[in-house]
Amino acid sequence: MTALPTRKLEAYRYADIDALASVWRDLAAPEVVKIAAQQKVQQIWLPSAETVQVRRAEITLAEGASASIFALNSAADYGRIELDVTLAADANFELFAANIGDGAANLEVVTNVRHIGERGRSRQTVRSVLGGKAVGSYLGKVAVARGAQQTDGEQSVKAMLLDRGASANCKPELEIYADDVKCAHGATVGELDRDKLFYAAARGLDPAAARALLLEGFVGGLWDQAEGGETIAELARNALRAIA
C-alpha cells in the first residue's frame, strides 16, 4: 500500500484528501485492462451508492485495439475517476464522462493518455454540471512519444455552474515529442442561458423542468454511442433532475 497522496501531487491538486483517506486503506489497485490487437472493448462505469467513490484503471491498447469508456461520476461527497491509458499504433481510445453533483461534492476525472505508436487516436469528452458548492475537475494529460507520428488527440471539456458557490477546474495538458501530430483541446465554463430558459418557460416548462431539460441537452450526446447505454443515460438524467 502506497502512502496517501497529498495535494502537492499534480494529479491530486483538487482532490478531497480527507475523503480519499477514508477509503485509501481498502482501495483496490487500479483495474488492469489489456486489450489485444484489433480487439474492441467498451466499459460503462456507473456510480455506486457509496458517498466516496474512487475508480481507477490502467488500460493498455495493442495495435489497432479500441476502448470506449462511459463514466458517470456523481458521488455525494467525493468521486474520482482515474485512467491511465497507453495506445500502441492505430489504437483508438474514447472517454465520455460526466461529473454531476451539488452540495459539497468534489468530483474529478483524471487521465493520463500516452500515445506510444503511430496513428493513435484519442477522444476525451467531459461534461460537468455543478450546483451548490460542488467542485468538478478534469485533469487530462495527453503525452505523445517520440515517433508516435500522426497521433490524433482531442480533449473537449465543458462545465456548467448552477450556483455561485460551484466551481470547475479544467486542465488539459499536452506533452508532445513527435512533430506530425494533431492535438486539440477546448475548455469552457458557463451557466445556463437566460434566453433558452425563457423560451422553455414560454412553452410551459416550470423553472426546474426547464433547467433540467437544458442540462440534459448539455450532457446529452455523451452516451449516444454506448451500447446498452440506457441505464447510464437514465442515471445521469435522474442526477440532473435532482440538482436542477
Partner 1 sequence: MLKITNLHATVAGKPILNGVTLSVPAGEVHAIMGPNGSGKSTLAYVLAGRPGYDVTEGSVTFAPASHTREGGGPAAPVADKGQRDFRFRGNDDGGVNLLALAPHERAAAGLFLGFQYPVEIPGVSMLQFLRESLNAQRRSHGEAELSGGEFIRLAKAQAAELGMDAEMLKRPVNVGFSGGEKKRAEMVQMGIMNPKLAILDETDSGLDIDALKAVGAGINRIMRAPDKAVLLITHYQRLLDYVRPDRVHVLNAGKIVRSGGAELALELEREGYQEVAV
Task: Indicate the burial class of 156 (C-beta count within 10 angstroms; 0-12, 13-18, 19 or more).
Answer: middle
Q: Residue 219, interface with partner 1 (CB under 8 A)?
A: yes
Rounded to a whole number of angstroms, the minimum distance from the CB of residue 169 to partner 1 is 23
Q: Residue 96, interface with partner 1 (CB under 8 A)?
A: no
String of contacts with partner 1 for each residue 170-209, x by CB under 8 A:
------------------------xxx-xxxxxxxxxx-x
Q: Which of 71, 126, 210, 240 contacts partner 1 by CB under 8 A?
A: 210
Q: How many residues bind partner 1 (CB under 8 A)?
A: 23
34, 76, 102, 169 from 18: Cα distances, Å: 32, 14, 18, 19
**Residue with Cβ nearer partner 1 (220 or 229):** 220
Q: Residue 221, interface with partner 1 (CB under 8 A)?
A: yes
Rounded to a whole number of angstroms, the minimum distance from the CB of residue 159 to partner 1 is 15
Q: CA 85, CA 102: separation in Å to the nearest integer?
A: 29
List the one residue out of 62, 68, 104 whose CA is nearest residue 83: 68
Q: Residue 35, interface with partner 1 (CB under 8 A)?
A: no
How is residue 162 written as a grid cell? 448552477
**Residue with Cβ nearer partner 1 (185 or 196):** 196
Non-local (6+) Cβ contacts of 12 within 8 A are: 5, 6, 20
Q: Residue 8, interface with partner 1 (CB under 8 A)?
A: no
